[in-house]
Amino acid sequence: MTGDEGREKVRIGAIILESSLIGAPMAGYSDLAFRLLCREYGAGLGYSEMVSCHGLVRHQASTLELIRTVAAERPVIMQLFGAEPEVMGAAAAILSESPIDGIDINMGCPVKKVVKKGAGAALMRDPGRAAAVIKAVVGATPLPVTVKIRSGWNRQTINAPDFARMIADCGGAAVTIHARTWSAGFTGRADREVIAAVKAAVQIPVIGNGDVTSCQEARALMAVTGCDGVMIGRGSLGAPWVFSPDRPIIPNLATRRQAARRHLALIREHHPGHHPARICNQIGRYFKTVPSGADIRKTIYNLDNLSKLEHFLADYPDHHQIEAL
Ligand SMILES: Cc1cc2nc3c(=O)[nH]c(=O)nc-3n(C[C@H](O)[C@H](O)[C@H](O)COP(=O)(O)O)c2cc1C
pLDDT at 284 over 70: yes
CA of 115 to the centre of ligand 1 (A): 15
Query: Which of 218, 229, 228, 159 shows the shortest CA–CA distance to 194?
Result: 159
pLDDT at 5 over 80: no
The whole-model pTM stands at 0.95
CA of 79 to the centre of ligand 1 (A): 12
If residue 185 lies in a helix (H) or strand (E), which one and from where to where? none
| Residue nearest atom 26 in ligand 1 by C-alpha distance | 233
Q: Is the pLDDT higher at 254 or at 124?
A: 124
Note if 227 is an active site residue.
no
Contact between 229 and 44 under an 8 Å Cβ cutoff? The reply is: yes
Q: Check 109, 170, 215, 280 and give the catalytic one.
A: 109
Vertex 235: Cα angle to 6 and 182 (nearest 5)? 100
DSSP 52-99: EHHHHHTT-HHHHHHT---GGG-SEEEEEE-S-HHHHHHHHHHHTTSS
What is the residue-averaged pLDDT of the chain?
93
Determine the residue type at 98: S
Percent of the chain having pLDDT more than 90? Answer: 86
Q: Which atom of ligand 1 is nearest to the CA of 176?
A: 19
What gap in Å lies between CA 297 and CA 63, rounded to an integer?
Answer: 30
Phi, psi angle pair for 30, to nearest 5°: -85, 60
Region 127-133: what's the mean pLDDT? 98
What is the best residue among 31, 178, 211 to mutate for testing ligand 1's pocket, by most ligand atoms within 8 Å of CB? 178
Q: Is the CB of 10 under 6 A from ligand 1?
A: no
The string of pLDDT tens digits covering residues 72-97 is 999 999 999 999 999 999 999 999 99
What gap in Å lies between CA 26 and CA 28, rounded to an integer?
Answer: 6
Query: Which pLDDT does position 234 carry in this prediction?
Result: 98
For the domain 11-243, what is the CATH code? Answer: 3.20.20.70
The string of pLDDT tens digits covering residues 248-275 is 788 888 899 999 999 999 999 999 999 9
| Residue nearest atom 13 in ligand 1 by C-alpha distance | 26
Pairing label, strands 15-16, 11-12? antiparallel
What is the best residue among 234, 237, 242 to mutate for testing ligand 1's pocket, by most ligand atoms within 8 Å of CB? 234
Query: Sorting pLDDT into bands at 50, 70 and 90, what band is 318?
Result: very low
Query: Which pLDDT does position 49 carry in this prediction?
Result: 97
If residue 266 lies in a helix (H) or strand (E), which one and from where to where? helix 253-270
Locate the domains of the chain by residue range.
Answer: 11-243, 253-324
Q: Which of 134-138, 161-165, 166-170, 281-285 has the lowest mean pLDDT?
A: 281-285
